[in-house]
Amino acid sequence: MTVLRPRRLSWRLAEVVEVVPETPRTKSLVLEVPGWEGHKAGQHVDIRLTAEDGYQAQRSYSIASAPEGEQPVLTVEHIEDGEVSPYLTDVLMAGDGLELRGPIGGYFAWEAKDGGPVLLVAGGSGVVPLMAMVRHRAAAGSSVATRLLYSSRSYEEIVYRKELERLSAREDSLEVIHTLTRSRPKDWGGYNRRIDLEMLKEVGPPPAERPLAFVCGPTPLVEAVATALVEIGYDPVCVKTERFGPTGG
């Protein structure tokens, strides 16, 4: 019998150590969280902002860093009209404090010992928790066959592009496949449409290999991809999803 450790989730104050621009619309926040007990790749934290009049707004953000790193790194996309993300991407500076709770979640998580093959499917900033898995895989020295299918609007909006190039060049067992849905560089030879069943068939490991699939992004993309994967023959239990909702925020 598993012994449960009752521990209510509580808010604590983190410090922003560094703000790193990733793309024109995304930034990574390197945090220092006193007593951080570590996380699993795929988990998230909740961030809470409190205005002077006491009004509070709260959102969830995925952890981008590998569990092997000592402190968590979040990557946040600036959402126009968002209540929380514009503050995180435009106002917050190194040295600022931030109210946070977590790590949270255990369902949408992958550890190297879970094996594979692994298919990661990302839409936009949905790549963040999947990047934690890719980074964990590298840090753990895992050679689990992994494919990341990553849909971005344009080349400039691909988050972690250089790091993904570096990691996939280093190892044959990691493949990164991009699709660009709105604009593309002139010499672009990759996919140029939204992710569909045909693309998933071409990119995904065959169902017979019993792949583990993790899908993260805006709700319509996640639902379309999850449905298509099951149609192709993936075991629904092995298709895990995380939806960002229509806007995030």
Partner 1 sequence: MDNELRLDGNAAAGPLREVFSFEVTTAQYSCEGCGRTDQLGAAMVYEVRGLGTIVRCPSCNNALIRLTHNRERYLVDLRGTRYLTIG
By beta-carbon proximity to partner 1, the closer residue of 1 and 91 is 1
Interaction of residue 60 with partner 1, rule CB under 8 A: yes
Residue that the structure tokens 């990047």 belong to? 131
Identity of the residue, 60 or 154, whose beta carbon is nearer to partner 1 in the bound complex = 60
Size of the site for partner 1 (CB under 8 A): 26
Question: Taking CB under 8 A as the rule, does residue 187 contact partner 1?
Answer: no
Choose between 174 and 229: whose C-beta lies nearer to partner 1.
Answer: 229
Catalogue the long-range contacts made by 158-164 (C-beta closer than 8 Å, 24 or more residues apart).
158/23, 159/22, 159/23, 159/26, 159/75, 159/125, 159/127, 159/128, 159/131, 160/22, 160/127, 160/131, 163/131, 164/131, 164/134
- Please state, in angstroms and rounded to a whole number, the distance separating the CA atoms of residues 48 and 1: 36
Q: Which of residues 72-101 bind partner 1 (CB under 8 A)?
A: 101
The mark string for 29-58 relative to partner 1 (x by CB under 8 A, - otherwise) is ---------------x-x-----------x
Structure tokens that stand for 48 in this block: 């809470």
Give the Cα separation of 205 and 224 in Å (integer): 18
Q: Hey, how many other C-beta atoms are within 10 angstroms of the C-beta on 117?
A: 17
Strand residue runs (E) in the chain:
12-23, 26-32, 44-50, 56-62, 73-77, 97-104, 118-123, 146-152, 174-180, 212-217, 239-243
Counting contacts by CB under 8 A, is residue 219 touching partner 1?
yes
Least gap, CB of 186 to partner 1 (angstroms): 38
By the rule CB under 8 A, 169 interacts with partner 1: no
- Shortest spacing between CB 19 and partner 1, in angstroms: 23
Using rule CB under 8 A, residue 113 touches partner 1: no
Q: How far is the CB of 68 from partner 1 (least distance, A)?
A: 21
User: Quick one: tokens of 152?
Assistant: 């971005």
Binds partner 1 by CB under 8 A, chosen from 67, 105, 116, 126 = 105
Residues that bind partner 1 (CB under 8 A): 1-2, 4, 6-9, 44, 46, 58, 60, 101-102, 104-108, 219, 240-246
